[in-house]
Amino acid sequence: MENAPHPKKIKTAFFGRNKIIDEVYARGRRAQIAERTDLYPHVIDLENFHEHAPHLRDLEAIFTSWLMPALQSEQLDLLPSLKAVFYAAGTVKKFARPFLERGITVVSAWQANAIPVAEFTSAQVVLAMKGYFRNAREYTSPSYMEAGGFQGPGNYGGTVALLGAGAIGRRVIEYLKPYHLRIVVFDPFLGEARAAELGVTKVSLEEAFEQGFVVSNHLANTPETRKMLHGGLFAKMRPSATFINTGRGATVDEPGLIEVLRARPDLTALLDVAWPEPPVEDSPFFTLPNVHLTTHIAGSANDETVRMADYCLEEFDAWTSGRPLRYVVSLEMLERMS
């Protein structure tokens, strides 16, 4: 009896930049896709799209990551068989709308990208509650230790305020549970019942700044949130409190923050994001002693990026087998994405 024919493999292709695809789909992930699908041998970007488009009419799925080309309607017309895009990164706001409007499934590894941000934030919270950042910058002579040195309230019963309880904020809540901290949350979309499930207390934006010894920003960048965090709020912060921003720089009124940091050297700002990014060359963020500025390192980087590829591979397997997808993006979600 003749062997049954093998089922036809789904045709896939990588879209984006070669360097990024190599970094994100590393450690054999690219090879796994090549084994399980009919993978097109070239990485597609806007520069070579029309050269390769005649060979992609039967393309069904795209694997991609940061710098996914923003294809226009006339380009999508040349991909009539396309059914799904698997994006191994976070927000899809810059490219997804034309796909979604055509009924093409878009999957994002935003939950995978939330993990390292939440880990980074939680580590900073724990150190800030101990008073580490102020203590370290002020400890410049033996007399500082002899005088006792600054110490924070510690990590047992103190209050941490989170601005936003989305994917990252919820993970921060989870990671901080072993420390027995009181967590208050400002999030207009968080209901009282869900807050109770998470073990947090809902507060207003003003109350968050007044109560938290650490205030950590996880608000999305939307028209409503831009410059929402103004100088008046920072002026309400507790003595020696810390502001953490691993969210979006555009949500902060930076001149207002700078004014308060100058007036109150007891405060600390841990800024992994700014607006613009990087800050302008003469920005006080580079010189203020109570600012710790990092180069947007909280998100997935180096070894961590492979986790995003794994999420996409898992979603691809679910999609091909007809199982429910966990990280699919809708048009409604685009409006809330930063």
SS3 240: coil
Q: Are residues 256 and 173 located together in one domain of the fold?
A: yes
On whether both 281 and 132 belong to a single domain, the answer is: yes
User: Position of tokens 């699919």?
Assistant: 328
Q: Confirm whether 137 is domain-assigned.
A: yes
DSSP state of 320: H
The pTM (predicted TM-score) of the whole model is 0.88
**What's the CA gap between 167 and 111, in Å, rounded?**
6
Q: Work out the average pLDDT over 118-147.
A: 97
Phi, psi angle pair for 271, to nearest 5°: -115, 110
For residue 211, what is the domain's CATH number?
A: 3.40.50.720
Q: Which two tokens stand for residue 308?
A: 């995003």
5 part of a folded domain: no
Please identify every residue annotated as catalytic.
248, 277, 296
Per-residue model confidence as pLDDT tens digits over 45-75: 999 999 999 999 999 999 999 999 999 999 9
3-state secondary structure of 30: helix
Q: Is it the case that residue 235 has pLDDT exceeding 50?
A: yes
- Extract the tokens encoding 225: 């949130």
In a domain, 168, yes or no: yes
C-beta neighbour count of 34 within 10 angstroms = 15
- Structural domain including 198 reads 114-293
Amino acid letter at 139? Y
Residue 254 and residue 139 share a domain: yes
Inside any domain, residue 102: yes
Q: What is the pLDDT of residues 136-155, one digit of tens each?
A: 999 999 999 999 999 999 99
Instruction: For residues 155 and 157, give the distance between their C-alpha atoms in angstroms, rounded to a whole number.
Output: 6
Task: Give all strands of the β-sheet with 105-108 in edge-to-edge order.
Answer: 38-39, 11-14, 61-64, 84-87, 105-108
Residues 171 and 273 in one domain: yes
What mean pLDDT do residues 23-43 have?
A: 97
- Say whether both 148 and 254 belong to one domain: yes
Per-chain mean pLDDT for the chain: 95
For residues 88 and 110, the answer to whether their CB atoms sit within 8 Å is no
Question: What's residue 333's pLDDT?
Answer: 85
Q: What is the pLDDT of residue 335?
A: 72
Query: Do residue 140 and residue 170 come from a single domain?
Result: yes
User: Which residue is associated with the tokens 């685009």?
Assistant: 334
Which pLDDT value is given to residue 101? 96
- What was the pLDDT predicted at 59? 98
Q: Do 271 and 139 reside in the same domain of the chain? A: yes
- Are 104 and 137 contained in the same domain? no
pLDDT at residue number 107: 98
Look up residue 242 and give its two tokens. Answer: 């810390």
Considering the domain architecture, whether residues 75 and 127 belong to the same structural domain is answered as no
For 193, phi then psi, to 5°, come to -65, -40
Burial 191-216 (b: 16+ CB within 10 A, else e): eeeebeebebbbbebeebbbbbbbbb
Q: What is the mean pLDDT of residues 223-232?
A: 96
* 122, 60: one domain: no
Q: Is pLDDT of 338 > 70?
A: no
Kindly state whether residues 195 and 324 are assigned to the same domain: no
CA end-to-end distance (rounded Å), the chain: 58
Report the alpha-carbon distance of residue 150 to residue 148 in Å, rounded.
7
Please say if the pLDDT value at position 289 is more than 80: yes
Answer yes or no: is 3 within a domain.
Answer: no
195's tokens:
């807050």
Mean pLDDT computed over 145-171: 96
**Is the model's pLDDT at 334 over the cut of 90?**
no
Domain count of the chain?
2
pLDDT for position 47 = 97
Work out the average pLDDT over 256-265.
Answer: 98
What confidence category does residue 6 fall into, taking pLDDT thresholds of 50, 70 and 90?
A: low
> Please, which pLDDT band fits residue 260 given cuts at 50, 70 and 90?
very high
**Is 1 a member of any domain?**
no
Q: What is the mean pLDDT of residues 192-213?
A: 98
pLDDT at 35: 97
pLDDT at 31: 97
Collapsing DSSP to helix, strand or coil, 98 comes out as helix
Q: What is the pLDDT of residue 1?
A: 40
Statement to judge: residues 197 and 127 lie in one domain: yes
